[in-house]
Amino acid sequence: MRTLKIEEYLARIPLIFKLFHHDLAMKQYVHYKDVKYGKDKKHYYRLYSGTNPELPLIFFIHGGGWWHGSPKVLAAIGHFFYKRGYTVVLPAYRLVPKHTYPKQIKDIMSAFSHVVKTLPNACLNHQVAVIGFSAGGELGTHLVFDQVMQDKYRIDRTLFKCFISLSGVLDFTKCRSVHSKHLIKNYLGTKYEPTKVNPIRLIKQTVNTPVMCIHGSKDKLIDVQNAISFTETINRHGGPAEVHMLKGYHHSDVMELLIGKGKADTDKLLDFIQK
């Protein structure tokens, strides 16, 4: 266990370097603009306007344990999809500890509502692929499956072409590491019990949106049972859902599928979006 935790931290180093290096390299190429969707400084999304109108819009929600992270450090992700013709939206949201559950969910709903109003053709004609990394996976489940919040923000749930979780926090009861429990506690604050607001509880009715959960076999931050439990629940409600386990991957380096590692696995992700 201790060895795998050390491996997890070491796996982050090349990923951080690649993200930072890519951000510096791409500053001379302005492919995006930042769009405000609210009053807070975190109420913005980074928009990459793609060149192929036949492709779905990519709505990518960053991770960071709900307390850090930003679209500004994900230039590599935006460019990955943009250079393939996709329109990409990278939403920011308010962070812990100043802001706790459910403000992050409200921000994602507000951001998506703004996108639909601003880019109606991209959303309505070709639908949306929602991708969430780590904590962004939990927020993505609300966007795609939370019917109460969808109705509140007047979001048409038929817009979602698919949902992809990358190392996602999808079932609080399966988060067994001390660190993950600490993150969830800080996210929920004192008002909410994890079992009562567990994202997996959103799956109550027939599911028509295809789901892919990509998870590293060596992930010791967010247990792989998150992916397994979630897909099993989706399939019990009509599915379709699948787990794509990455042998030898940890938590953070799953992101390298969108930066330059594991071409075969990257192709599976892109095929899932396009099929």
For the cut 60, the answer to whether the pLDDT of residue 2 exceeds it is no
172/195 Cα distance (integer angstroms) = 7
Neighbours of 105 (CB within 10 A): 20
DSSP 58: E
The angle subtended at Cα 42 by Cα 39 and Cα 47, nearest 5°, is 100
Instruction: For residue 171, give both structure tokens.
Output: 């079932």
pLDDT greater than 90 at residue 19: no
Q: CA-to-CA distance for 4 and 250, rounded, in angstroms?
A: 8
pLDDT at 30 over 90: no
Distance CA 160, CA 148 (A): 16
Which pLDDT value is given to residue 262?
A: 62
- List the one residue out of 216, 218, 196, 210 whose CA is nearest residue 241: 210
Ranking 95-104, 123-132, 163-172, 232-241 by mean pLDDT, the lowest is: 123-132
Residue 5 scores a pLDDT above 70: no
pLDDT digits (tens, 9 = 90+) for 185-222: 999 999 999 999 999 999 999 999 999 999 999 999 99
Tell me which residue of 44, 131, 124, 36 sits closest to 80, measured CA to CA: 131
- C-alpha span between 197 and 180 (Å, rounded): 16
Which pLDDT score, from 0 to 100, does residue 275 have? Answer: 82
Residue with token string 């509140």: 152
pLDDT the model gives residue 96: 97
Q: What is the pTM of this model?
A: 0.91
Helix (H, G, I), strand (E, B) or coil at 242: strand
Q: What is the CA radius of gyration of the chain?
A: 17
Q: Closest Cα partner for 251 from 34, 8, 32? A: 8
Lowest-confidence region among 28-37, 207-216, 226-235, 240-249: 28-37
Pairing state of beta strands 44-48 and 160-166? unpaired
How far is C-alpha 86 from the geometric centre of its chain's CA atoms?
Answer: 16
Backbone angles phi, psi at 163, to 5 degrees: -130, 130
Q: Tell me, what's the pLDDT at 4?
A: 45
- 229, pLDDT greater than 50: yes
**How high is the pLDDT of residue 235?**
97
Q: Locate the domains of the chain by residue range.
A: 2-274
pLDDT at 39 over 90: yes
Q: What is the mean pLDDT of the chain?
A: 89
Q: Could you give the CA distance from residue 165 to residue 136 in angstroms, rounded to a whole number?
A: 8
Q: Which CATH number fits domain 2-274: 1.10.1040.10, 3.40.50.2300, 3.40.50.1820, 3.30.460.10?
A: 3.40.50.1820
At 88, is the secondary structure helix, strand, or coil? strand
- Cα-Cα-Cα-Cα torsion 238, 240, 241, 242, nearest 10 degrees, comes to 130
* Tens digit of each residue's pLDDT (9 = 90 or more) over 73-123: 888 899 999 999 999 999 999 999 999 999 999 999 999 999 999 987 777
